[in-house]
Amino acid sequence: MSAFPGVKALVFDTFGTVVDWRNGIARDAKVFLARHGRADIDPHGFADAWRKRYQPAMEAVRSGRRPFTRLDVLHRENLDALLGEYGITAEEAELDWLNRAWHRLDPWPDAIPGLLRMRPRHFLAPLSNGNILLLANMAKRAGIPWDAILGAEAAQAYKPQPEAYTRTAEILGLAPGEVALVAAHNGDLAAARRAGLKTAFVLRPTEHGPDQTTDTRAEQDWEAVASSFEALADQLGC
């Protein structure tokens, strides 16, 4: 018996749910900062500071203050501003390399085994604020077995706008109730539920580091709650 009767597609939040963004960004930031003589800067703190600019940058798009702008561009603008605060300058090639750290993130250890178990019975795709090239490069490097890659450009909307969810279902030729969002973030799941999607919470208790205080438990009665992708596969009968 599946936790999702009638669901044909599973779509996944990516940053934090499928991949470990914090350690991946810190890994490449450490190299960059050492090269610029700034080993005094904690690379995980650098990753957190860069990520802190993520939601405000997307909010400018969501609010209509600027046209839809892909995440690679927003990440680069945020990186330039952050480096300005630290007084660091670098060549364009170095900045491009560091900005593409978001393309090189590693999956959580259970992610790919769980996805491989779920794939025979469900269509799998990211439902991410990431852009198509970012998500494609990430999947190619890490071997993430998506059936399609739907970046935010496809929906022309950033979560939690309802269009991010409903347009994804429409692109897949499915009703919202035939699609389930898998995410480690209660807010994302709440927005997906309001848009008519089914929901699955997967706990990622160290996404924000060892002292994480957010999303440490399921905050609503999501259709599925699991400790890992493999545990979710169990609940789906995969």
| Structural domains of the chain sorted by starting position, each given as residue range(s) with its CATH number in brackets | 9-20+107-235 (3.40.50.1000), 21-104 (1.10.150.240)
Instruction: Give me the residues of the chain with pLDDT under 50, please.
Output: none
- CA dist., res. 58 & res. 199, Å (int): 23
| 87-110 pLDDT tens trace | 999 999 999 999 999 999 999 999
| 143-179 pLDDT tens trace | 999 999 998 999 999 999 999 999 999 999 999 999 9
**What pLDDT score was predicted for residue 91?**
96
Distinct helix (H) and strand (E) counts, the chain: 11, 5
Helix (H, G, I), strand (E, B) or coil at 209: coil
**What pLDDT score was predicted for residue 2?**
73
Take residue 140 and report the two structure tokens written for it. 């190619």
Backbone angles phi, psi at 123, to 5 degrees: -75, 130
**What pLDDT score was predicted for residue 1?**
62
CB count in 10 Å sphere of residue 214 = 10
